[in-house]
């Protein structure tokens, strides 16, 4: 490896408040020690936050889904048998627990705009930003899945309208976060003035989907609202991400496709007059580390074999909101024209570019949600991460584990020292908020 020095990577740890993350094998992996930590209890997550902070990560990051999917076959059995992102407990309460056990690391959670009101969300994340001292992040998702709509007794909105609604949602939140000017809280006990009324404003937000009079009843927070994270792949999703987000979580298994994705976001940012550097793109990877290459490969095999084709098809169907049980396992997905199958097209090839069958795509989706498995010794994993960044460009990685606890510890103890020696992972946090971390290397 050669050429131009890379900037240090922004690292985030992907989590779910549940027994599986991106790997459906996680809950039954022999190294996942349910007796040491219970996934339903805060101690596991506090431990993870501390390990990630030791590794200089920007943040821990929770996905969130509000349903148990029956998209595959119309029955919940496959999801329940395979723990297909089910159960998932609410991650938001954990953010406070994790922040209380750490000093610097950002704590971010997904919250869907599909079935909530901006006032509630602005208040929730404003409060969290205070509780965490400016370390809160919100992953703004539109959640395409009819199981979710059914849980909230709502009709499904078409994809385009979901993003129109999401734009309005975030604009309303921004207006509410800005309803308290800086310096509005004066706490002048002598003259009996808590807040200066001239610095607290009604927002009178009136859009097509939402109205809110305001002001927020939460005072201006350290980041003035959380850092915004996004994860959309459609053109409208990319527009949304380019406009508002401080960071994007992207899944592109092949570095070439990751590069194309990155350029499309940065181009959009230029078009709307936003500094392309203002949004950091983090590509998802699943590190699998061994003392030797052979040990790492054996570990990958052991892990991947634990994922059933049924589980894979169930999670893939859920993510597409499309029942794949109608196709035989040897279907080449790249040859299908159904609109629902087009969004994930870059996930239908193996790492050498060969089109995969439904069974192959499904199993890989169940193993890692199709993000790249980076397998090898600590040095080889560090090399591969460096290579990915050189080919794709980008700002860093969202890491996902194959078992817990253990996998994050291995990465932090064995790979991070190598990356630090190369100047690719921070040694110290220079700021105190999540936005500070995301802009530390600008
Ligand atoms: C990497 C990634 C992560 C996502 N995480 C979540 C999540 O945790 N919860 C959720 O409800 N939706 C999640 N979504 C779904 C998106 O919010 C969105 O509904 C979906 O990607 C469709 O929009 P798109 O066509 O622009 O990609 C995720 C999407 C992507 C690409």
Q: Which residue has the tokens 């821990």?
A: 60
Counting from 1 in the atom list of ligand 1, the atom nearest the Cα of 145 is 19
- Cβ of 281 less than 6 Å from ligand 1: no
In the structure encoding, which two tokens stand for residue 290, read together?
């061994």
Collapse the DSSP code of 287 into the 3-class scheme (helix H, G, I; strand E, B; otherwise coil) and give the result: strand
Which regions in the chain score pLDDT beneath 70?
Answer: 1-2, 159
Q: Give the closest residue to 290 by CA, choosing from 424, 388, 422, 407.
A: 407
CA–CA gap between residue 149 and residue 314 (Å, rounded)? 18
Residue whose CB lies within 8 A of the most ligand 1 atoms, among 17, 71, 143, 154, for a mutation test: 143
Query: Is the Cα torsion angle 136, 284, 371, 292 positive or negative in sign?
Result: negative
Q: How far is the CA of 384 from the centre of ligand 1 (A)?
A: 26
**Ligand 1 centroid from CA 231, angstroms:** 6
| Helix, strand, or coil (residue 434) | helix
**Best CA proximity match to 403, nearest among 125, 44, 101:** 44
Name the DSSP class of 215: -
Q: What is the Cα–Cα distance from 440 to 442, expressed in whole angstroms?
A: 6
| Cα separation values, 334 from 104, 300, 361, Å | 44, 26, 10
Q: Would you say the CB of residue 65 lies under 6 angstroms from ligand 1?
A: yes
**Pairwise CA distance, residues 191 & 235, whole Å:** 54
346 lines ligand 1 (CB under 6 A): no
Mutate to test the pocket of ligand 1, among 63, 85, 141 (most ligand atoms within 8 A of CB): 141
d(CA 283, CA 200): 40
| Ligand 1 pocket residue status of 49, Cβ below 6 Å | no
pLDDT score at 102: 98
Atom of ligand 1 nearest to the CA of 62: 8
User: Is 112 near ligand 1, meaning CB less than 6 Å away?
Assistant: yes
> Would you say the CB of residue 249 lies under 6 angstroms from ligand 1?
yes
Which of 16, 20, 89, 232, when mutated, tests ligand 1's pocket best, judged by the most ligand atoms within 8 Å of its CB? 232
User: So where are the chain's domains?
Assistant: 10-287+373-438
Give the strand pairing for 211-212 and 205-206.
antiparallel
CATH architecture of the domain 10-287+373-438 equals Alpha-Beta Barrel (3.20)
Taking the centre of ligand 1 as the mean of its atom positions, its distance from the CA of residue 237, in whole angstroms, is 9
Residue whose CA is at the smallest distance from ligand 1 atom 15? 143
- SS3 call for 317: helix
For residue 157, the model assigns a pLDDT of 82
Using CA positions, which residue lies closest to atom 10 of ligand 1?
Answer: 143
* Residue pair 247/358 in contact by the 8 Å Cβ criterion: no
Query: In three state form, how does the secondary structure of 176-209 look?
Result: HHCCECCCCEEEECCCCEEECHHHECCCCEECCC
Distance 435 CA to ligand 1 centre (A): 22
Kindly report, residue by residue over 319-350, the tens digit of the pLDDT. Answer: 999 999 999 999 999 999 999 999 899 899 99
> pTM for this one?
0.96
Q: Which is nearest to 73 in space by CA: 304, 309, 337, 336? A: 309
């Amino acid at each position: 490896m050669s050429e131009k020095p890379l900037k240090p990577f922004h690292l985030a740890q992907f989590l779910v408040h549940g027994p599986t993350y991106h790997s459906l094998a996680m809950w039954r992996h022999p190294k996942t020690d349910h007796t040491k930590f219970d996934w339903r209890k805060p101690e596991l997550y506090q431990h993870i936050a501390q390990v990630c902070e030791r590794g200089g990560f920007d943040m821990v990051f929770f996905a969130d889904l509000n349903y148990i999917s029956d998209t595959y076959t119309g029955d919940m059995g496959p999801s329940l048998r395979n723990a297909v992102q089910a159960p998932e407990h609410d991650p938001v309460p954990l953010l406070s627990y994790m922040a209380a056990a750490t000093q610097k690391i950002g704590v971010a959670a997904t919250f869907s705009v599909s079935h909530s009101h901006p006032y509630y969300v602005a208040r929730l994340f404003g409060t969290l930003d205070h509780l965490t001292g400016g370390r809160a992040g919100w992953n703004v998702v539109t959640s395409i899945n009819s199981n979710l709509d059914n849980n909230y007794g709502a009709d499904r909105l078409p994809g385009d309208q979901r993003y129109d609604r999401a734009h309005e949602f975030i604009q309303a939140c921004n207006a509410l976060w800005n309803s308290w000017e800086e310096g509005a809280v004066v706490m002048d006990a002598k003259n009996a003035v808590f807040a200066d009324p001239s610095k607290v404003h009604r927002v009178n937000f009136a859009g097509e989907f939402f109205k809110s009079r305001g002001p927020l009843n939460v005072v201006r927070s350290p980041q003035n609202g959380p850092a915004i994270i996004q994860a959309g792949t459609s053109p409208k999703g990319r527009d949304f991400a380019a406009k508002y987000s401080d960071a994007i979580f992207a899944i592109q298994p092949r570095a070439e496709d990751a590069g194309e994705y990155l350029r499309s976001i940065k181009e959009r940012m230029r078009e709307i007059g936003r500094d392309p550097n203002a949004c950091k793109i983090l590509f998802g990877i699943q590190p699998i580390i061994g003392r030797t290459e052979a040990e790492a490969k054996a570990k990958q095999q052991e892990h991947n074999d634990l994922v059933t084709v049924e589980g894979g098809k169930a999670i893939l169907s859920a993510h597409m909101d499309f029942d794949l049980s109608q196709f035989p396992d040897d279907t080449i997905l790249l040859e299908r024209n159904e609109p629902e199958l087009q969004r994930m097209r870059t996930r239908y090839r193996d790492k050498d570019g060969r089109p995969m069958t439904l069974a192959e795509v499904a199993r890989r989706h169940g193993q890692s949600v199709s993000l790249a498995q980076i397998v090898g010794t600590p040095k080889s994993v560090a090399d591969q991460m460096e290579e990915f960044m050189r080919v794709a460009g980008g700002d860093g990685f969202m890491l996902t584990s194959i078992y817990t606890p253990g996998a994050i510890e291995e990465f932090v103890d064995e790979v991070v020292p190598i990356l630090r020696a190369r100047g690719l992972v921070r040694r110290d946090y220079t700021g105190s908020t999540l936005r500070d971390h995301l802009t530390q290397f600008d």
